[in-house]
Amino acid sequence: MKIKSFNTNNRAKFILAFSVFAFVALNLSMVQLKVEKTMILAERFHEGAGWIEIFFISLYGAVVVWFMHNPGNVAKWRKYTWGLFSFVFFSQLILGISGFHTFLMTAGKLHLPVPALIIGGPIFRYQIGFMTILFLSTIILSGPAWCSHLCYFGALDNLLAKGKPEKGKIKHKTALKVTTAVLIVFGALIMRLSGVSYTWAAVAGGAFGIIGILIILLFSRRKGKMVHCTSYCPIGTFINYARFINPFRMYIEESSCTLCNVCTSYCRYDALNPEDIKSGKPGITCTLCGDCITSCHAGSIKYKLFKFSPETSRNIWLFITVSLHAIFMALARL
């Protein structure tokens, strides 16, 4: 029986890994062949090298999903892969602004790497950019995965929010979230209508980003929760509500849940407080990251997608999310 179970488990992992490899390779190949601007970084240095990068990025995605298939590995691998994504993103940015313009999406107007500007920037410019399109695609395809696998700022928040999370909800979380979201939307619009220059708009955006970093350093680190992502970042607020257009959900099976509350110490997003557990579903700040599944001895925390089983639902979510992660690794640049 154990041998059969082992073989079945590995067969499922192989199918999932192969699917991610094929999907990432197909999509990046379409970008390589169809997009007029050279998007694959290696292709900019040597003709044909883009195909080599596509192979290794696709292989990377397959390896990540292979190990993430085991719920016990998710928190560890998510930290590694998310940190790597952020490192690659900011390394290319630093090289680009240091004079190596090949590493930038464009050598013209450079967008500040502040997540809030993914919304604020297009409002101020009256123009939707490439990063905004990538961001919106994640909500449609995998719900709130941006906040747990793809945000270049979130990786830092996740890294510093270590240790045992402080008990109790983050105070005034909802009020803070709504306030910063309104501030970014109407602030960008008012600056545009007032004729504020790009320079001063960039200064305002940069100041907003610096405040976010200070929140990570001063509060996330102390509370053991991702205060920046759950209470300050307007992108997180937008995702909290817009994610409902996506069919993926996570729920707590009431019949098997023992209300032990152990899972609360695994959630960095302040989405598993005792009242959330009693309600049978994580709070609105849940990003479906899956870290909590490891802690549930009763196996009560599960993914849901239409009428699929929890296991199949989780595999589909992993397929989509890890594929997006790998594709963005190749394409996300400023």
The Cα 109–Cα 130 span in angstroms is: 13
The Cα 233–Cα 179 span in angstroms is: 10
Q: Where are the domains of the chain?
A: 2-331
Number of alpha carbons in the 13 Å side-chain half-sphere of residue 13? 15
Q: What are phi and psi of 140, to 5 degrees?
A: -65, -40
Torsion of CA 6, 11, 16, 17, to 10 degrees: 90
The Cα 88–Cα 107 span in angstroms is: 18
The Cα 284–Cα 272 span in angstroms is: 10
Q: Which two tokens stand for residue 309?
A: 């089983």
The total number of residues written for the chain in this structure:
334
- Angle CA(158)–CA(266)–CA(64) in degrees, nearest 5? 60
> Whole-model pTM?
0.90
Q: Are 155 and 83 in contact (CB under 8 A)?
A: yes
DSSP E strands, 4-61: none
The Cα 225–Cα 77 span in angstroms is: 19
* pLDDT digits (tens), the chain, 334 positions: 444 455 777 888 999 999 999 999 999 999 999 988 888 999 999 999 999 999 999 999 999 999 999 988 998 899 899 999 999 999 998 998 888 888 887 655 556 788 888 889 889 988 887 778 878 889 999 999 999 998 888 888 998 887 778 888 888 888 998 999 999 999 999 999 999 998 898 899 999 999 999 999 999 988 889 999 999 999 998 998 898 999 999 999 999 999 999 998 889 999 999 999 999 999 999 999 999 988 888 899 999 999 999 999 999 999 999 999 999 999 887 6
Packed helices 117-125 and 130-142: angle between N→C axes, nearest 10 degrees: 130
